[in-house]
Amino acid sequence: MQPDQRKKSSADVDFFTEYGEGSRYKIEEVIGKGSYGVVCSAYDTRTGEKVAIKKINDIFEHVSDATRILREIKLLRLLRHPDIVEIKHILLPPSRREFKDIYVVFELMESDLHQVIKANDDLTPEHYQFFLYQLLRGLKYIHTANVFHRDLKPKNILANADCKLKICDFGLARVAFNDTPTAIFWTDYVATRWYRAPELCGSFFSKYTPAIDIWSIGCIFAELLTGKPLFPGKNVVHQLDIMTDLLGTPSPEAIARVRNEKARRYLSSMRKKKPIPFSQKFPNANPLALRLLERMLAFEPKDRPTAEEALADPYFKGLAKVEREPSAQPVTKMEFEFERRRITKEDVRELIYREILEYHPQMLKEFLEGSEPTGFMYPSAVDHFKKQFAYLEEHYGKGTTVAPPERQHASLPRPCVLYSDKTVQNSAAVTDDLSKCSIKEVEKPPMDRTSGIPMARLPIQVPQGMQGAARPGKVVSSVLRYNNCGAAAAAEALDQRRVVRNPAVSTQYAASSYPRRSSACKNERVNDESVEGSNGLQPKPQYIARKVAAAQGGSGSNWY
């Protein structure tokens, strides 16, 4: 073995530690480092693709950090779109209950938008238009899923030399559910200050709307036009100063709607400023682009367009077709139930392990069938409840009269349970129950030599259809209950009989899984190699590859 090969093989072992699947990937180089861990480019020997592997160290040291990782990998599994970075694989940990690191395999991107802006000073109006189009197209998909990204900035937009952009880093994202259209969240951090909407400045407790992401996209677009950040505030007060320098002092009505009291008092005491025309601030930009930018940077959230409305702007004529841009199904409450309660380190470890299994279909199948011990309740009961819950959530308030899915048994099929005590029961119900069971004659039970009373022991037989189907933890036949009171009478009535489970009773447990992305979503993907317009297919603009290579040398990047 050559020295270089030995060195690279050693690096693979050091990077993957105890993870057996690591042999599938050949590490090439480190492309990013941070407090979370390290990102390496690698070659997937199974698919022949180049990928980026993000190793996150000691994820359970702080429950808040582990929850953020869980949130991100769950959202990236649910949000599959050409303009959102894709998780290709997550390595299976060596131990389900003791793993500390996680290896997430992403598609490899060459740079990020921050580096592209720094290294390319000759971007054209076509670049600006195509970049903004992709960002709004991805944002439309995210918002139709009822997700707010909350941390959009150039470093969280990945880029390739063919001008393809992808939104990443969903660690601060939140889901707003249908019954709470204006969501309220506690947080200690919302977006980098420079890209933070004015309604969030200085506020630790805020109402969010999708307009906060639209503001961030406006700031990113302005940075593309000028090559430098639009609002580089040193603190909250300075941030509000430079915002109002460009946009003018907001109206008293707008100030009254600012939730933070200190920010509201500061804006009220501020000297009156007139807005600067955007044509003066951005002298060489397309007037249609500036008109859209002015709408996205409106001080009041209600005055900003939605992502879908922005895509319908005249600026994108011939490039975007709103009806063609895919939308997402809203994320269900069950997927993010953990956000609504306090969870322990063990809880989040189990939830992350469950997400990892999504990338290992055979192990996921065994997990759901109960072939391995699990800390959850019986999957059949849990998942059937989830189906009922999702059904009610979808149809509640729509006036529908369709009955929800019936609750199937999770343990005992009650029509086949018989009681041998002398409690008074409804005879019709008992008769009906007995009619559902087939009765066969068996040999007489042995006598108790001490008392001379037949022993009331009822053998339980597995129906023919269930032979060989039993697994640990599964109920495969009826359970008969009796007590010793009146044992002789019970024996006389039942000792000649064997209860056989009614084959009409369903023995299938509901197939279970967390809601998965529909295969139909793949058909909705837009062709990324070209953009269809009114004049046929428009090729994507290319920017100089050598400048992308220069961009890759930048430090501190967190792209995958």
Going 543 to 548 to 550 to 555, the CA torsion angle's sign is positive
| Cα–Cα nearest to 67, from 166, 152, 171 | 171
Active site residue 151: yes
Q: Is 55 annotated as a binding residue?
A: yes
Distance CA 307, CA 155 (A): 20
The identity of residue 50, as a single letter, is K
Find out whether 290 and 276 touch, Cβ atoms under 8 Å: no
| Rounded (5°) CA angle 260-266-268 | 100
Residue identified by tokens 């529909």 is 518
Distance CA 550, CA 531 (A): 28
Residue identified by tokens 């290579």 is 549
Distance CA 236, CA 261 (A): 13
Find out whether 105 and 76 touch, Cβ atoms under 8 Å: no
Q: In a 3-state reduction of DSSP, which class is residue 530?
A: strand
How many distinct helices (H) and strands (E) make up the chain? 18, 17
Options 83, 112, 151, 433, the catalytic residue: 151
Distance CA 87, CA 359 (A): 9
Distance CA 326, CA 521 (A): 8
What is the maximum alpha-carbon separation in the chain?
108
**Which residues line the annotated binding site?**
55
Catalytic residues, by residue number, are 151
Which parts are annotated binding residues for ATP? 55
